A = this chain, B = another copy of it.
Amino acid sequence: MKQQSKGISQARSRSSGTEARHATGDDRSRSSQAAKTLLQQWAEAVEGYFGQLPARYPAAPPRLVEAVQYSLMAGGKRLRPALVLECWHACQRANSIHDRAPTHSPAGINPGATPKGAPLAAAAAMELIHTFSLVHDDLPAMDDDDLRRGRPTNHKVFGEAMAILAGDAMVTMAFELICTDAEPALAATLVRELASATGPAGMIGGQVLDIDEVKRPENLEELQTLHRMKTGALLTASCRMGAVAASATPHQLASLDRYGRHLGLAFQIVDDLLDQTATPEQMGKATGKDAAKGKMTYPMLLGLEEARRQAGQQLASALNSLDGFGVEADGLRAMAHFVVERNV
């Protein structure tokens, strides 16, 4: 664990704000590596929290707890909780006089940064919502997927009824955990952010647009509307929740909101590119399904080259949004690079 923290500290200091903003090829790959280390650290924090969930529900049927844990602990990039925690961390450091003054580890994780309480619950709640959406999305009535993160999907293991109920349970757990772990006024704000990003005008609304076989998106604007809801809303809410948990200033909240929006679009363009170019083994799930289903994707609409160019443009805009932050946002800069340069 100590080793891990040291790794992060080095990872953070390898990529300074200026470097990330005017990145060369080498800088980009270092930045991406730094992001992977950060993702791993935050993933460990969130997985530690998930590990303690069964003890918080002693009265729940064991098979339900098992089904929930099966999907929660299946790995994955943990990008959303990492965004919550990295935004929280950046705002916390930006607003702490002690941290802004030059110290021996200007870009390292300070010892007080171990998340607990509101930010950790917010991060875990976000991953619960994301995981619920995957479990329901994989159902036979929806995308009918057999494989997720390299393992059989939830309903393949526990049956369809249990997968529906396990997904439902994850949603309620997300909101309950926030209200149990955060102080009430903050909890209400976090619940509103998360519920609004998940609901009819957010992720679920986006999924409804996505399964509509009659009215497919036909141009860039319609495709972006779909993805702003389906994947963008949760990614943006991750950033907002982290900021809110750190009592960010309105300006910081607006900056991270903008960062989240651009990151969300970049994420989806790259997702579409990977769906077209990556192998199922690489992705841990079936690929090429969008095209097979006649779904519109960015590369289909724009071509591979232009799609890649637009992903880069969204990355640049995401980085620009962080201009008001100093080194404390280097982690977020690295994560933006990672989102565009990843191959999973």
Question: Within the assembled complex, what's the spacing in Å between the Cα atoms of A161 and B176?
Answer: 26
Q: Is the CB of A63 within 8 A of B212?
A: yes
Q: Is A169 an interface residue (CB 8 A)?
A: yes
Residues 146-185 of chain A, each 1 if its beta carbon lies under 8 Å from chain B, else 0: 0000000000000111101101110111011011101011
Q: Is A61 an interface residue (CB 8 A)?
A: yes
- A129-145 contacts to B, CB under 8 A, are 132, 136, 139-142
Cβ of A168: which chain B residues have Cβ within 8 Å of it?
A: 132, 136, 167-168, 171, 204
Cβ of A64: which chain B residues have Cβ within 8 Å of it?
A: 200, 204-205, 208
Q: Which of B172, B180, B185, B204 contacts A198 (CB 8 A)?
A: B172
Q: Is the CB of B169 within 8 A of A68?
A: no
Cβ of A200: which chain B residues have Cβ within 8 Å of it?
A: 57, 60-61, 64-65, 68, 169, 172-173
Q: Is the CB of B160 within 8 A of A141?
A: yes
Residues 62-99 of chain A, each 1 if its beta carbon lies under 8 Å from chain B, else 0: 01110010000000000000000000000000000000
Q: State the number of copies, please.
A: 2
Q: From DSSP, what is the main secondary structure of chain A's interface residues? A: helix
Q: Is the CB of B196 within 8 A of A176?
A: yes
Q: Which of A1-9, A187-195, A257-265 makes up part of the contact surface? A: A187-195
- Identity of the chain B residue whose Cβ is nearest the Cβ of A182 in the assembled complex: B188
Q: Is the CB of A169 within 8 A of B199?
A: yes
Question: Within the assembled complex, what's the spacing in Å between the Cα atoms of A263 and B169?
Answer: 25
Q: Is A235 an interface residue (CB 8 A)?
A: no
Question: Within the assembled complex, what's the spacing in Å between the Cα atoms of A164 and B182?
Answer: 30
Interface size on A, residues (CB 8 A): 55
Q: Is the CB of A164 within 8 A of B162?
A: no
- Identity of the chain B residue whose Cβ is nearest the Cβ of A211 in the assembled complex: B161
Question: Within the assembled complex, what's the spacing in Å between the Cα atoms of A233 and B189?
Answer: 26
**A binding-site residues for B, Cβ under 8 Å:** 57-61, 63-65, 68, 132, 136, 139-142, 159-162, 164-165, 167-169, 171-173, 175-176, 178-180, 182, 184-185, 187-189, 191-192, 195-196, 198-202, 204-205, 207-209, 211-212, 229
Listed by A's residue number, 22 A-B pairs whose Cβ atoms lie within 8 Å are: A61-B200, A61-B208, A63-B208, A64-B200, A68-B200, A136-B168, A139-B141, A142-B164, A162-B211, A165-B207, A167-B168, A168-B171, A169-B199, A171-B171, A172-B195, A172-B199, A176-B196, A179-B189, A179-B191, A184-B187, A188-B188, A188-B191
Known A61-B209, A165-B207, A172-B195; 8 more pairs at CB < 8 Å: A59-B201, A61-B205, A136-B168, A164-B164, A168-B168, A172-B204, A173-B195, A176-B191
